[in-house]
Amino acid sequence: DTEVTQTPKHLVMGMTNKKSLKCEQHMGHRAMYWYKQKAKKPPELMFVYSYEKLSINESVPSRFSPECPNSSLLNLHLHALQPEDSALYLCASSQPGRIYGYTFGSGTRLTVV
C-alpha cells in the first residue's frame, strides 16, 4: 500500500459545527503532516507529527486541533471555523531521514458557511 487516504473528500460545515478530518497511511511512515492550500497558492504547513508526537505547530489557531492516535492515523479536529478557513486540506506522510520523499493524500475540500 503506497497511498495516503483522506476522508471525507468534501465537507461543508457551519461556523458553530464540530467536525474532523481523517488521514491514514500503511507505509510504515513515522512522520505525518497537515497542510492547508488556498486556490492558486502552494500548500502551507500547519502541523508535523514525528513518531506520534507533535513536533511543529506553525502558529495555527486553536480552532484547529490535531491528533495522532497511532503511527498510521492522523486527525484534524475542527471547531468554530471561519469562512476564510475554507480551503483544500492535505495530509502527507514520510519516513524521517534524508533519503525519503513525501506522499500526499488527495485532500479534503472544506467549505465553511
Chain residues in the site for other proteins (CB under 8 A): 6, 31, 33, 41-43, 45, 48, 50, 55-56, 88, 90, 92, 94, 96-107, 109
- We find the least distance from the C-beta atom of residue 80 to other proteins, in angstroms, to be 26
- We find the least distance from the C-beta atom of residue 16 to other proteins, in angstroms, to be 27
- We find the least distance from the C-beta atom of residue 60 to other proteins, in angstroms, to be 14
Select from 1, 14, 29, 11 the least CA-distant residue to 76: 11
Q: Which is nearer to other proteins, 80 or 106 (CB)?
A: 106
DSSP 23-71: EEE-S---EEEEEEE-TTS--EEEEEEETTEEEEE-S--TTEEEEEEET
Select from 7, 87, 10, 9 the least CA-distant residue to 41: 87
Q: Which is nearer to other proteins, 18 or 102 (CB)?
A: 102
Q: Which is nearer to other proteins, 50 or 72 (CB)?
A: 50
